[in-house]
Amino acid sequence: MDFLSFLITGLGLGSVYAIIALGYTMVYGIAKMLNFAHGDVIMIGAYVAFFAVGKFNMPSLVAVLFSVLVCTLLGVLIERLAYKPLRDASTLSVLITAIGVSYFLQNAAQILWGSDTKIFPTMFDFGNISLFNGQLQISLLTLITILVCIVIMVVLTLFINKTKTGKAMRACSEDKATAQLMGINVDTTISITFAIGSGLAAIASVLLCSTYPAVNPTLGSMPGIKAFTAAVFGGIGSIPGAFIGGLLLGVLETLAKAYISSQMSDAIVFLVLIIVLLIKPTGLLGKKISEKV
């Protein structure tokens, strides 16, 4: 019974990682950049939700929407100001810029809202459900987190495969120059990708903070790194890959914490990652790119 309970907690955490990883993987797929500032967008999302509920007494759902809106705008703004001028620059230059943006957001948050940890208000209280005569207690929030993740995943897959914008995104990720020749507005497409990724980050932030109710300026770093790992785990650039990678990572982390050692859980997760990459060098669902000579 314990195992089942850990498994569900792990899936809940994994769903949050998966939602964040989707943002990483979409941006990577289309802009070929590691957006290290993604974790800090999560942090901003958490603060926005915190103030929306705590200060302005917004209803929970409205607060979530507000947070999504702010993060979406922030994502587009970051892309336009910092990344767009570097479209033709080397990947490393873009990486450093992303790190600069990450520092900027963290320090801006620290100046604006202080470096102390704030307690995130309870936005959703669904209680628990008992199964097997009360032997298994499952938080309904965890189930909803998993459900939200699945819905996002399905909608996103449909969006990318069925809509015109989705097609444009796939075209851009294949070949930007050709896409442009086919009449696709590459700049807008990239902006839309950032908007979706950042919006998802806001949803992830609310789910994350509902489970671990603490908000501080470095809140996003660790989930950011973990989600990045999850994206690589599943094969970066692949949307189902990010989903599976996120879930696996969450389960692995929770089980390692429960059965081996809570201090060593990170090390175990990263060790498994190295082993997986040794066996499947491009991640679980990553495409094998054959080099042309």
- As a whole number of angstroms, the distance between CA 243 and CA 236 comes to 11
User: Which lies closer to another protein via its Cβ, residue 178 or residue 261?
Assistant: 261
89 binding another protein? (CB under 8 A): yes
254 binding another protein? (CB under 8 A): no
- As a whole number of angstroms, the distance between CA 141 and CA 230 comes to 22
* E strands in the chain: 118-119, 128-131, 136-139, 214-215
Closest CA to 226 of 1, 2, 39: 39
Instruction: Work out how close the CB of 92 gets to another protein at its nearest, in angstroms, rounded to a whole number.
Output: 5
Site string for another protein, 214-253 (x = CB under 8 A): -------x---x--xx--x---x-----------------
Residue type, 94: V
Q: Would you say 179 and 85 are in contact if contact means Cβ atoms under 8 Å apart?
A: no
Structure tokens at 207: 């789910």
Instruction: Work out how close the CB of 42 gets to another protein at its nearest, in angstroms, rounded to a whole number.
Output: 16
Q: Which residue has the tokens 């570097």?
A: 86
Segment contacting another protein by CB under 8 A, of 83-91, 133-141, 180-188, 189-197: 83-91
Q: Which of 76, 96, 136, 138 binds another protein (CB under 8 A)?
A: 96
Segment contacting another protein by CB under 8 A, of 65-73, 101-109, 151-159, 196-204: 101-109
- As a whole number of angstroms, the distance between CA 88 and CA 51 comes to 38
Q: Which of 125, 278, 288, 290 binds another protein (CB under 8 A)?
A: 278
Give the three-state DSSP class for 138: strand
- As a whole number of angstroms, the distance between CA 172 and CA 181 comes to 11
Segment contacting another protein by CB under 8 A, of 64-72, 127-135, 136-144, 269-277: 269-277
Segment contacting another protein by CB under 8 A, of 41-49, 78-86, 128-136, 142-150: 78-86
Closest CA to 42 of 129, 93, 109, 97: 109
276 class by beta-carbon count within 10 Å (0-12 exposed, 13-18 middle, 19+ buried): middle
Closest CA to 120 of 99, 147, 94, 141: 141
* E strands in 170-235: 214-215
Count interface residues toward another protein (CB under 8 A).
48
104 binding another protein? (CB under 8 A): yes
Segment contacting another protein by CB under 8 A, of 63-71, 151-159, 242-250, 271-279: 271-279
Segment contacting another protein by CB under 8 A, of 172-180, 191-199, 204-212, 268-276: 268-276
Q: Which of 155, 174, 270, 287 binds another protein (CB under 8 A)?
A: 270
Residues 6 or more apart whose Cβ sits within 8 Å of residue 109: 40, 43, 44, 47, 217
- As a whole number of angstroms, the distance between CA 283 and CA 270 comes to 13
80 binding another protein? (CB under 8 A): no
User: Which lies closer to another protein via its Cβ, residue 199 or residue 250?
Assistant: 250
Please report, as residue ranges, which positions from 3 to 32 form the binding site for another protein (by CB under 8 A). Answer: 28
Which residues would be at the binding site for another protein (CB under 8 A)?
28, 34, 36, 82, 85-86, 88-90, 92-97, 99-104, 106-108, 110-111, 221, 225, 228-229, 232, 236, 261, 263-264, 266-267, 270-271, 273-274, 277-278, 281-283, 291, 293
